[in-house]
């Protein structure tokens, strides 16, 4: 398809491209021709306007998710790492398959399939396929030039897949809040992260004690009579609890506090069992708990590596069921973080069409291989990882255990940032400066 468009944003030169890649990589090799069904991989290349004719090395950004499209920058500073990256690199921003402009997958796509067909289809949108897409892109559109990768959150998972499958493609890798535990086990992940969700809720209540009462009143009201959100989904206690998903970001406590501040419509807005719940609050909850179409359907399958000993079988729900303090009846009400539950596919309009496919995948044990532990142990590609000590989504102790078994890996452990730290001006610059000082990028600069 070649170049689709070229234009400028404030402080950025942008080119838009798209290529075809196999829907199913089985039997195909990145960089070579292929037959059979295909899908589209869309990507942008961004440069500093003053450097568009410079021969700069390439950096590919591996977006978080799953199911997340690449950044849509407003300026170099709107996503802090970009301002630093374009000083040194041409930056490649792909939309992972099924997201953004890469043949987007949503409820309409899956709604036309039965459960088995939908499950088979969705398995093509996991890390083994995503990384092969990127490797095909590198070999066919960038003349096979080795590139640097920067992986945020799930992008760190993709980084380890890239290092497992195609280590020769990479000069160096950076990850921010995204080193998974290898060997992967979804149940283990939630056994670590649910206690973190509890601590985050306790910290929130300690900072804003008035919100404990607000959430208790809301939960009591909704347990008796769920209210419709503007899109028609029911606001149940379970969905109310998921406003805690933002607690892994900054300034999430404040965002949730101000959301709850306008929950009650009568009088001065104080918590009241008799006050109507405000339309503003319902709009805010809908927005705060909405997600990308593939985010929840694929959430637990990012931990599926090859042939599993047992099905994933709703790992987060199974762990939650062992912790009565997360019950919808418990007070104070605990909020939940990055965890997917069966009720979502019963209550949420955009997820209902995925229900059969996801249920089928939850009982499956055969997935693509995403990690090669032997290759990771032999790894020679410099890997620098920002590990956030208090990360609610990716447990730091599990990340450090993995990094201890990856060759040429180095961790920077900090509690200065939450899971989204890369979007500021500091994290990528520090990792890059450390890599330069260590000679990791000597061949490029």
Q: What is the pLDDT of residues 339-357, one digit of tens each?
A: 999 999 999 999 999 999 9
Global confidence as pTM:
0.97
pLDDT category, 1, cuts 50, 70, 90? low
Please report which helix (H) or strand (E) contains residue 241, including its range: helix 237-241
Whether residues 252 and 288 fall in one domain? yes
Please report which helix (H) or strand (E) contains residue 3, including its range: strand 2-9
Please report which helix (H) or strand (E) contains residue 93, including its range: strand 90-95
Whether residues 260 and 159 fall in one domain? no
Whether residues 80 and 96 fall in one domain? yes
CB neighbour list of residue 104: distance below 8 Å, 6 or more residues apart:
98, 293
Please report which helix (H) or strand (E) contains residue 16, including its range: strand 12-22
User: Cα 189 to chain center, whole Å?
Assistant: 15
* Rounded Cα–Cα distance for residues 148 and 107 (Å): 34
113 found inside a domain: yes
* Rounded Cα–Cα distance for residues 334 and 204 (Å): 10
Q: Quick: pLDDT tens for 331-340.
A: 999 999 999 9
Whether residues 431 and 286 fall in one domain? no
- Give strand pairing partners of 93: 44
Please choose, from the candidates 148, 195, 55, 31, the residue with its C-alpha nearest in 3D space to the C-alpha of residue 435. 148
Its sign, for the CA torsion 58, 64, 66, 70, is negative
Asked whether the beta carbons of 299 and 340 are under 8 A apart, the reply is yes
Whether residues 194 and 177 fall in one domain? no
Q: Quick: pLDDT tens for 304-314.
A: 999 999 999 99
Whether residues 302 and 163 fall in one domain? no
Size of the chain, expressed as the number of residues it contains: 445
Region 398-410 average pLDDT: 98
**The tokens of 349 are what?**
């309009």
- Give strand pairing partners of 22: 38
Helix axes 355-362, 115-122, angle to 10 degrees: 70
Residue-level pLDDT at 291: 85
Whether residues 177 and 229 fall in one domain? no
Report the domain count for the chain: 2
* Rounded Cα–Cα distance for residues 326 and 188 (Å): 18
Q: Quick: pLDDT tens for 167-192.
A: 999 999 999 999 999 999 999 999 99
* Domain containing residue 47: 2-183+370-437
* Rounded Cα–Cα distance for residues 204 and 208 (Å): 6
Distance, first Cα to last Cα, the chain: 32
Cβ burial of 35 (10 Å; 0-12, 13-18, 19+) is exposed
């Amino acid at each position: 398809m070649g170049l689709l468009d070229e234009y400028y944003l404030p402080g950025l030169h942008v080119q838009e491209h798209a290529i075809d890649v196999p829907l199913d990589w089985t039997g195909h090799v990145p960089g070579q021709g292929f037959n059979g069904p295909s899908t589209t991989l869309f990507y942008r290349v961004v440069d500093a306007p003053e450097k568009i004719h410079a021969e700069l090395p390439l950096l590919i950004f591996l977006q978080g998710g799953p199911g997340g499209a690449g950044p849509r920058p407003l300026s170099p500073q709107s996503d802090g790492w970009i301002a630093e990256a374009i000083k040194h690199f041409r930056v490649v921003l792909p939309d992972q398959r099924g997201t953004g402009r890469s043949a987007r997958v949503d409820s309409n796509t899956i709604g036309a399939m039965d459960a088995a067909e939908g499950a088979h289809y969705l398995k093509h949108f996991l890390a083994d396929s995503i990384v092969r897409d990127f490797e095909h892109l590198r070999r066919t559109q960038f003349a096979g030039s080795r590139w640097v990768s920067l992986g945020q959150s799930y992008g760190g998972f993709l980084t380890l897949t890239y290092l497992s499958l195609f280590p020769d493609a990479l000069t160096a890798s950076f990850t921010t809040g995204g080193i998974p535990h290898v060997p992967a086990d979804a149940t283990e992940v939630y056994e670590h992260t649910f206690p973190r969700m509890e601590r985050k809720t306790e910290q929130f209540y300690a900072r804003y004690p008035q919100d404990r009462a607000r959430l208790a009143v809301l939960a009591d009201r909704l347990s008796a009579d769920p209210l419709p959100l503007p899109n028609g989904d029911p606001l149940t206690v379970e969905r109310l609890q998921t406003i805690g998903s933002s607690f892994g970001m900054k300034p999430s406590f404040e965002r949730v506090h101000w959301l709850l501040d306008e929950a009650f419509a009568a009088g001065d807005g104080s918590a009241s069992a008799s006050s109507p719940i405000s339309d503003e609050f319902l709009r805010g909850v809908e927005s705060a708990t909405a997600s990308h179409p593939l985010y929840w359907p694929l959430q637990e399958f990012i931990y599926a590596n090859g042939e599993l000993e047992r099905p994933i079988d709703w790992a987060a729900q199974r762990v939650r069921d062992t912790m009565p303090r997360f019950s919808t009846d418990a007070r104070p009400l605990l909020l939940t973080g990055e965890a997917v539950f069966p009720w979502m596919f019963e209550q949420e309009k955009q997820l209902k069409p995925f229900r059969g496919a996801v249920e089928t995948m939850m009982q499956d044990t055969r997935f693509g291989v995403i990690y090669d532990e032997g290759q990771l142990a032999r790894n020679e590609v410099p890997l620098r990882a920002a590990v956030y000590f208090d990360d609610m989504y990716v447990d730091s102790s599990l990340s450090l255990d993995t990094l201890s078994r990856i060759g040429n890996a180095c961790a920077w452990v900090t509690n200065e940032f939450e899971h989204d730290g890369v979007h500021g001006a500091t994290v990528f610059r520090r990792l890059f400066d450390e890599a330069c000082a260590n000679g990791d990028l000597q061949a490029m600069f």
